[in-house]
């Protein structure tokens, strides 16, 4: 370990403690930022000699990385950024926290993935999905796909594990020899009307999408897994990554996708973060029985526009007791009304909960800013 | 219900990125409230455009999808739309949909791409992407219309073509402080996605042009939603005025 890195680690620990004492979160990201500032080569040094898997994608990064870390446990101690601190600071802090753990599973922000591929020299990269996240930034899906593809071009030695049913990931790894392609039996993709590679309209016909112009989608997959939804897909991808890292028979485990529980006014609430059309569609398709609250905001990272509400199928809500709340509750209420879903509107979460019968747990589907306001 | 209208959604797999399908849903919802049945018919770019529909909804999308759409419509599709416009059918053209009805629009790198030339309209690429809430006073409805814009097109209307409204917030066409276009058979706008959801009176203009009496249509949820968005747009416009800031349109183009 270099002197500079040792100095950096001391400074980072101090900053992390100070941040915790000041009540500014758990200090992980701050500690990491200080570390990288004091020792710019910290990431490379901390990564040296370790076996690393990076996990990235638009949806499900945190829960999938958590699952992967637990699946890798048979190989020995695992270093991971379990708090979802997926930028440079959080990643440096995670590596520094358990420097002797030889196996590493790291969640990486989509825009940071190329940088981390260069800095960490990982063994494998697990790519879950790519779709529009902040909703007025559709163009960026293509931008990210191109950056990922360029980064993999620079690192032919890295093994990629992908969901081949996502045309963007198929495009990212189109020329990448070391790729394991999983299939799940067919799904559609809201942002892939046209081929990510050549812009020709894609043909979407089960069991496969296909580009008639450049052939994207034409490869056979290495394995087809049964998956009812994104949670199962991501779990299958995590198992594949664990297998590739040397775990003989990674167990099937149902993981939770950013779900938190909360007691409010004597009621059990199951909170679920839903941040884009793909995750709303996913959450609605797997709704447990019982009443449902929809909390829709449109600020900052939610995206300021609510047009996407019309891209989601709300028929799974029929038969549930539904209350709509959040800052954009009138947008959502009108939309689900047109979809023929009876509902009430409430000014805030407390009133939404009070409007529902008291004998059942309530599922709350929430935009990011609404979720953060109550779940953290 | 004795009467039924047919609403064609043009190439939703290409031009439907921002909830554009909502416009057909709102039209049929309000038609039913007016006692008229509605059939929504999504038509893919690989299929011929039906010639007998009452409304054709053309949505917004990425430039690559927009070019694929216009390529599919060239020739027979454009003829079908021209004939529909001539017989009084209604075309709702949103964002990229508005651009392709004109003579020329910008491709992925800003290069000019030939449109369908159904309207004397030209679009070129602006300096920056225009994103945010917009509002306008519309002589067509006599009300304030509100929406969200997200585009990089500067759209010029020629030959005395009338816009949909005069901007009170945001950019719209990006020139002349107006948004969109209105003819007897076309309503075009940069209010992207489900523009009719926030502006039920605009949906009713389309229905009335088809001879549907909308006076008995009451939908409290639609009224409350539209009123809230108008209030938000007004306060945003007032805030900008207090800061002495004019819209980027006034500064840049
Ligand atoms: Zn292609």
In a domain, A356, yes or no: yes
In a domain, A236, yes or no: yes
- Judge if A31 and A50 occupy the same domain: no
List the single range of A2-11, A55-64, A167-176 with lowest mean pLDDT.
Answer: A2-11
Coil/strand/helix, residue B58: strand
Question: Using CA atoms, how far apart are residues A348 and A360, in angstroms rounded to an integer?
Answer: 19
- The answer to whether B79 faces chain A, any CB pair under 8 Å, is no
DSSP B166: E
Note whether A310 contacts B228, CB cutoff 8 Å: no
- Judge if A299 and A173 occupy the same domain: no
Instruction: Supply the pLDDT for residue A277.
Output: 81
- The answer to whether A204 faces chain B, any CB pair under 8 Å, is yes
Instruction: Supply the pLDDT for residue B155.
Output: 98
- Judge if A74 and A181 occupy the same domain: yes
Q: Is the CATH number of domain B4-249 3.40.50.880? A: yes
Chain A residue numbers touching B14 (CB-CB < 8 A):
193-194, 201
Instruction: Supply the pLDDT for residue A34.
Output: 77
- Judge if A157 and A285 occupy the same domain: no
pLDDT grade for A229, boundaries at 50, 70 and 90: confident
Tell me the pLDDT tens digit for each residue of A290-311. 999 999 999 877 888 899 899 8
Question: Using CA atoms, how far apart are residues B145 and B152, in angstroms rounded to an integer?
Answer: 21
- Judge if A304 and A199 occupy the same domain: no
DSSP A347: S
- Judge if A58 and A206 occupy the same domain: yes
A264-278 burial by CB neighbour count: b if 16+ within 10 A, else e?
beebebbbbbbbbbb
**Domain range enclosing A34:** 1-39
Asked if residue A16 has pLDDT above 80, the reply is no
In a domain, A252, yes or no: no
- Judge if A58 and A11 occupy the same domain: no
- The answer to whether A338 faces chain B, any CB pair under 8 Å, is yes
- The answer to whether A321 faces chain B, any CB pair under 8 Å, is no
Which domain-ending residue is among A221, A245, A269? A245
Question: Using CA atoms, how far apart are residues A173 and A12, in angstroms rounded to an integer?
Answer: 37
Other CB atoms within 10 Å distance of the CB of residue A36 = 20
Tell me the pLDDT tens digit for each residue of A133-159. 654 455 678 889 999 999 999 999 999
- Judge if A162 and A191 occupy the same domain: yes
Instruction: Tell which wins on pLDDT, A327 or A6.
Output: A327
- Judge if A234 and A320 occupy the same domain: no
Chain A residue numbers touching B62 (CB-CB < 8 A):
138-139, 142, 193-194
In a domain, A323, yes or no: yes
Rounded mean pLDDT, A46-73: 94
Tell me the pLDDT tens digit for each residue of B222-236. 999 999 999 999 999
- Judge if A170 and A69 occupy the same domain: yes
Nearest to A282 by CA among A257, A308, A306, A253: A257
Give the domain CATH number at A224.
3.40.1190.10
- Judge if A335 and A361 occupy the same domain: yes
Instruction: Supply the pLDDT for residue A104.
Output: 97
List the single range of A221-235, B25-39, B74-88 with lowest mean pLDDT.
Answer: A221-235
In a domain, A250, yes or no: no
Note whether B19 contacts A204, CB cutoff 8 Å: no
What are the residue ranges spanned by the domains of chain B? 4-249
Task: Decide if B140 contacts B205 (C-beta within 8 A).
Answer: yes
Which domain-ending residue is among A201, A217, A245? A245
Note whether B65 contacts A194, CB cutoff 8 Å: yes
Give the domain CATH number at A272.
3.90.190
Asked if residue B8 has pLDDT above 50, the reply is yes
Task: Decide if B198 contacts B214 (C-beta within 8 A).
Answer: no
Chain A residue numbers touching B61 (CB-CB < 8 A):
193
- Judge if A24 and A71 occupy the same domain: no
DSSP sequence for B88-142: T-EEEEETHHHHHHSSEEE-TTS-EEE---SSSEEEEEEEEEEEEEEEEEETTTT
Tell me the pLDDT tens digit for each residue of A61-70. 998 999 999 9
User: How many domains, chain A?
Assistant: 3
DSSP sequence for B4-39: EEEEEEE-TTTS-TTSTHHHHHHHHHHHHHTT-EEE
Instruction: Supply the pLDDT for residue A358.
Output: 85
- The answer to whether A199 faces chain B, any CB pair under 8 Å, is yes
Which domain-ending residue is among A216, A245, A274? A245
- pTM of the entire predicted model: 0.80
In a domain, A251, yes or no: no
């Amino acid at each position: 370990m270099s002197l500079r890195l040792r100095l950096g680690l001391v400074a980072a620990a101090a900053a992390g403690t100070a941040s915790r004492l000041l009540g500014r979160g758990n200090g992980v990201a701050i500690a990491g930022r200080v570390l990288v500032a004091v020792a710019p080569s910290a990431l490379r040094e901390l990564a040296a000699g370790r076996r690393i898997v990076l996990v990235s994608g638009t949806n499900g990064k945190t829960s999938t990385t958590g699952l992967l870390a637990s699946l890798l446990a048979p190989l020995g101690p695992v270093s991971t950024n379990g708090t979802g601190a997926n930028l440079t600071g959080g990643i440096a802090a995670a590596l520094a926290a358990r420097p002797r753990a030889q196996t590493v599973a790291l969640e990486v922000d989509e825009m940071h993935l190329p940088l981390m591929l260069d800095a960490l020299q990982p063994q494998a990269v697990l790519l879950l999905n790519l779709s529009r996240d902040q909703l007025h930034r559709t163009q960026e899906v293509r931008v990210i796909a191109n950056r990922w593809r360029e980064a993999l071009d620079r690192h032919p030695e890295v093994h990629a594990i992908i969901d081949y049913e996502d045309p963007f990931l198929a495009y990212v790894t189109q020329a990448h020899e070391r790729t394991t392609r999983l299939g799940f039996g067919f799904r559609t993709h809201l942002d892939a009307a046209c081929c990510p590679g050549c812009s020709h309209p894609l043909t979407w016909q089960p069991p496969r999408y296909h580009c008639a112009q450049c052939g994207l989608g034409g490869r056979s997959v290495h394995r087809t897994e049964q998956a009812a939804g994104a949670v199962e897909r991501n779990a299958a991808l995590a198992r594949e990554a664990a297998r590739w890292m040397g775990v003989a028979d990674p167990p099937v485990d149902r993981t939770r996708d950013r779900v938190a529980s909360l007691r409010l006014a004597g009621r059990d609430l199951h909170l679920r973060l839903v941040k884009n059309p793909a995750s709303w569609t996913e959450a609605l398709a797997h709704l447990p029985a019982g009443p449902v609250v929809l909390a829709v905001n449109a600020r900052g990272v939610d995206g300021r526009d609510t047009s996407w509400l019309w891209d989601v199928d709300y028929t799974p809500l029929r038969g549930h007791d539904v209350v709509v709340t959040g800052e954009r509750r009138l947008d959502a209420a009108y939309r689900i009304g047109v979809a023929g879903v009876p509902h009430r509107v409430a000014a805030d979460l407390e009133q939404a909960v009070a409007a529902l019968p008291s004998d059942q747990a309530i599922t709350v589907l929430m935009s990011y800013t609404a979720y953060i306001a109550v779940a953290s | 219900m004795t009467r039924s209208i047919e609403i064609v959604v043009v190439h939703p797999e290409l031009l439907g990125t921002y909830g554009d399908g909502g416009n057909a849903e709102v039209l049929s919802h309000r038609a039913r409230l007016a006692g008229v049945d509605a059939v929504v018919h999504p038509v893919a770019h690989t299929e011929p455009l039906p010639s007998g529909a009452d409304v054709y909804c053309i949505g917004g999308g990425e430039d690559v999808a927009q070019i694929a759409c216009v390529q599919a419509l060239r020739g027979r599709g454009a003829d079908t739309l021209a004939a529909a416009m001539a017989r009084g059918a209604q075309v709702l053209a949103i964002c990229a949909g508005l651009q392709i009805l004109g003579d020329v629009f910008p491709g992925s790198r800003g290069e000019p791409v030939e449109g369908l030339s159904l309207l004397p309209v030209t679009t070129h690429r602006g300096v920056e992407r225009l994103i945010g809430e917009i509002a306008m006073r519309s002589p067509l409805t006599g009300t304030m219309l509100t929406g969200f814009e997200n585009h990089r097109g500067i759209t010029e209307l020629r030959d005395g073509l009338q816009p949909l409204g005069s901007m009170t917030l945001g950019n719209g066409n990006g020139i002349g402080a107006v948004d969109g276009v209105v003819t007897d058979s076309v309503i075009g706008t940069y209010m992207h996605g489900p523009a009719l959801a926030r502006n039920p009176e605009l949906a009713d203009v389309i229905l009335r042009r088809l001879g549907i009496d909308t006076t008995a249509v009451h939908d409290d949820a639609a009224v409350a939603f539209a009123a809230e968005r108008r209030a938000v747009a007004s306060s945003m416009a007032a805030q900008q005025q207090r800061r002495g800031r004019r819209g980027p349109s006034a500064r840049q183009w």
